[in-house]
Amino acid sequence: MTFLSLYPIQLSIFVAPEVDMGAVTKQANFLLPEDLLEELKRTVSPRRQSRFVTEALRKELMRLRLAKAIDESFGAWKEKDHPDLAKGTDSYIRRMRRSTRLAKG
């Protein structure tokens, strides 16, 4: 991919009627591959493009945070700390459901 295949896109975030009116927005400039920019223009109306990109970015950042949390917590579960689950989870889940039903009942 060459520099010429990237189009600078200016993402001027505007406050649309469906966006929280108290939200603070700032302008950001990104370079996007030409094909991606063209697909965005074909698929999403110009009035909704900033919101679309914002939502896509939020989803991807959330996915990255979740992946990081999973990586960082790997190995945190120790079987010695949970002897009640040594024979499997079926009896544990059944016991938990029964206690919940009795408490509501």
How do the domains of the chain map onto residue ranges? 3-77
Amino acid at 84: D
16 pLDDT more than 60: no
Distance CA 1, CA 16 (A): 34
Q: Hey, is 76 helix, strand or coil?
A: coil
Q: How far apart, in whole angstroms, are the C-alpha atoms of residue 34 and residue 4?
A: 9
The mean per-residue pLDDT over the stretch 85-97 comes to 81
Mean pLDDT of the chain: 79
Question: Which tens digit of pLDDT belongs to each residue from 24-67?
Answer: 889 889 899 999 999 999 999 999 999 999 999 999 999 999 99
Helix axes 49-73, 34-43, angle to 10 degrees: 120
Please, which pLDDT band fits residue 97 given cuts at 50, 70 and 90? confident
Per-position DSSP letters for 20-70, written without gaps between them: -TT-----EEEEEEHHHHHHHHHHS-GGGHHHHHHHHHHHHHHHHHHHHHH
83, pLDDT greater than 70: yes
Which pTM value belongs to this model? 0.56
Average pLDDT over residues 77-100: 80
* pLDDT tops 60 at residue 7: no
